[in-house]
């Protein structure tokens, strides 16, 4: 059985803005927090991957895929954020049923940080271990 950890603090918050660094990170700003992603991720809609980190590494399509990402996520309400321990996936679902999966793949670098304006921080450390700071 796959253990999971939910983050109800983020439920109902809006994704207010997206930023894409060169080449990293992808940053999602929330109403009261955010998510910084420096590892592989994919956005699924209707059971299909619509955009992923690799799409941003292709110079000719980065802008096109950032537009898709903004269309699907910007202004959307967060339905849930969940950490799937066994699969080591952080999953964000939105009101329009988009699913953002984030999965760490480095022994040497941090993967992502989920943070709230309430001094909460949940970080994927080098090697994939997570740290919860409240």
Determine the structural domain holding residue 56 and report its residue range: 4-128
Task: For residue 17, tell me if it sits in a domain.
Answer: yes
Write the pLDDT tens digit of every residue in 93-123. Answer: 999 999 999 999 998 988 999 999 999 999 9
25: cis peptide before it, omega within 30°? yes
Number of domains in the chain: 1
Look at residue 75 and tell me if it is in a domain. Answer: yes
State the pLDDT at residue 1: 43
Are 38 and 109 contacting, i.e. CB atoms less than 8 angstroms apart? yes
DSSP 1: -
Q: From CA 3, how far away is CA 89, in angstroms rounded?
A: 11
The pLDDT assigned to 23 comes to 65
Query: Residue 75: is it exposed, middle or buried by C-beta count within 10 angstroms (0-12/13-18/19+)?
Result: middle
The answer to whether position 133 is within a domain reads: no
| Residue 58 lies inside a defined structural domain of this protein | yes
Q: 45 lies in a domain?
A: yes
Residue 134 inside a domain? The answer is no
What is the pLDDT at residue 18?
Answer: 93
* This model's pTM is above 0.75: yes
Low-confidence ranges of the chain (pLDDT < 70): 1-2, 23, 59-62
Q: How many CB atoms lie within 10 A of CB 107?
A: 8
């Amino acid at each position: 059985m796959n253990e999971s950890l939910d983050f109800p603090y983020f439920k109902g918050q809006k994704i207010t803005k997206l930023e894409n660094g060169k080449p990293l990170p992808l940053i999602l700003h929330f109403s009261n927090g955010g998510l910084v992603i420096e590892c592989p991720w994919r956005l699924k809609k209707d059971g299909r991957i619509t955009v992923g980190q690799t799409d941003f590494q292709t110079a000719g399509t980065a802008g096109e895929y950032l537009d898709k990402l903004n269309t699907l996520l910007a202004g959307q309400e967060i339905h849930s954020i969940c950490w799937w321990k066994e699969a080591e996936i952080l999953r964000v679902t939105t009101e329009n049923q988009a699913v953002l999966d984030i999965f760490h793949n480095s022994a040497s670098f941090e993967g992502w940080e989920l943070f709230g304006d309430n001094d909460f921080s949940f970080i994927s450390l080098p090697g994939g271990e997570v740290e919860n700071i409240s």
